[in-house]
Amino acid sequence: MPSPFDQAPYRVRLEWGPTGGQAVAADATYAVVVDVLSFTTTLSVAADLGVEVLPFPWKDESAAAYAHSHAARLAVGRLEAARDPGATVSLSPGSLRRAAGLHRIVLPSPNGSTTSFLLRDSGATVVGAALRNATAVARWLAGRLVEDPAASVAVVAAGERWPDGSLRPCLEDQLGAGAVVAGLEDLGVGPLSPEAGIAAAGYRHAVPRLREAVLACASGRELVERGFVDDVDVALEVDTSVSVPLLSGVSFTGSVGLDLPRGG
């Protein structure tokens, strides 16, 4: 029997976290991972810079060996990078912009990176999206959906974690996922699942006060209080990137440049 949790009757679907992502991406053509603060924002910056990104589960003891085996530099957590100025590459998108000579990095995170890693073998083409490149991703997807009427999209809001490890749905990923869905809807792609449709409506409602909402939400306040307001600022560079990071094999490689107007 078909599962009601795969949202299969709808061409555009939306779920939360690694488990939800695996449910809706099981028979989807494309899976769009959204982790605004900050994995996919950092991923979009990496794509702009031509840096290859290998996703990997958070705090896995084998991360260093994995990075070594792929001739990649291992990114560290924000706080670790702040304590050790020599560890310049972290989950912070600003650290990537400041680093020199980077070609390939392993970028662990508990949410977006872990979700991307788990979706590698789902059969879907995995795409990274954030507020910085939501329009570019939507246009790239829409072009392929027009070419293949049977194709479908699973948008996965990565979410955050409570101290006990359970999923914490978060406003910034709801908005990032909604931005992608709204872009698809504007281009005539549908039908949307109720989950996807409500996310798109929420994004449209928030647009006039998007910066205020992201800075004031729990995740935004956490980063600001820890001294990482610059990371929130980068995440709020709405539609300034035309990069579409695609997961090919073990890494997000290259990007797809589109002739899009630059936002702000």
What are 171-194's pLDDT values in tens digits? 999 999 999 999 999 999 999 999
Mean model confidence pLDDT for the chain: 92
What are 18-59's pLDDT values in tens digits? 999 999 999 999 999 999 999 999 999 999 999 999 999 987
Q: Is residue 17 part of a domain?
A: yes
pLDDT at 56: 95
Q: Is residue 162 part of a domain?
A: yes
- Going by C-beta distance under 8 Å and a sequence separation of 6 or more, which residues neighbour residue 198? none
What is residue 54's three-state secondary structure? strand
Question: What CATH number does the domain containing 191 carry?
Answer: 3.90.1560.10
pLDDT at 101: 84
pLDDT at 86: 57
Domain that residue 124 falls in: 10-48+111-253
Spans of the chain below 50 pLDDT: 259-264
- The total number of structural domains in the chain stands at 1
pLDDT at 128: 98
Could you count the other beta carbons within 10 Å of the beta carbon of residue 15?
A: 25
Q: Is residue 133 part of a domain?
A: yes
pLDDT at 88: 73
pLDDT at 262: 42
pLDDT at 1: 62
Residue 135 · residue 260 · CB < 8 Å: yes
Q: Is residue 28 part of a domain?
A: yes
- Going by C-beta distance under 8 Å and a sequence separation of 6 or more, which residues neighbour residue 173? 16, 34, 35, 36, 157, 158, 159, 160
Q: Is residue 103 part of a domain?
A: no
Q: Is residue 105 part of a domain?
A: no
pLDDT at 257: 56
Q: Is residue 83 part of a domain?
A: no
